[in-house]
Amino acid sequence: AQSVAQPEDQVNVAEGNPLTVKCTYSVSGNPYLFWYVQYPNRGLQFLLKYITGDNLVKGSYGFEAEFNKSQTSFHLKKPSALVSDSALYFCAVRDLVKSYQLTFGKGTKLSVIP
């Protein structure tokens, strides 16, 4: 069975600094990986996905993620954090058998400090 780990419950970063939210995965075969964000009182919003191709994936709101097969990681990054980036971030992997189903990590709360 596949799994996703987000080792940090919370990440604090100063506004303007680069941010990284970590994600590692465990899956047999080629992974399909996703990042979602949940802003306060809002639903889960799709940020970006990796299916195949370039290891650096660019997504919404200036976010990007780097797929690293050898380290089984898919860390979310942004060069310069904004206060408005403060939210809950979820990494997910698509189930290899049940292609409609996502397996999520526990989520990481990102706080950007002015």
Cβ-based neighbours of 82, under 8 Å, separated by 6 or more: 15, 112
Q: Which of 42, 83, 84, 113 binds other proteins (CB under 8 A)?
A: 42
Q: Which of 14, 51, 83, 113 binds other proteins (CB under 8 A)?
A: 51
98 forms part of the interface with other proteins (CB under 8 A): yes
Residue among 7, 4, 19, 3 nearest 78 (CA): 19
CB of 106 to other proteins, least distance (A): 5
Question: Applying CB under 8 A, which part among 38-46, 55-63, 65-73, 79-87 lies near other proteins?
Answer: 38-46
The amino acid that residue 25 corresponds to is Y
Question: Applying CB under 8 A, which part among 21-29, 59-67, 77-85, 87-95 lies near other proteins?
Answer: 87-95
Q: Which is nearer to other proteins, 70 or 99 (CB)?
A: 99
CA distance linking residue 44 with residue 42, whole number of Å: 7
Residue 41: alpha-carbon gap to chain centroid: 19
CA distance linking residue 14 with residue 81, whole number of Å: 7
CB of 43 to other proteins, least distance (A): 4
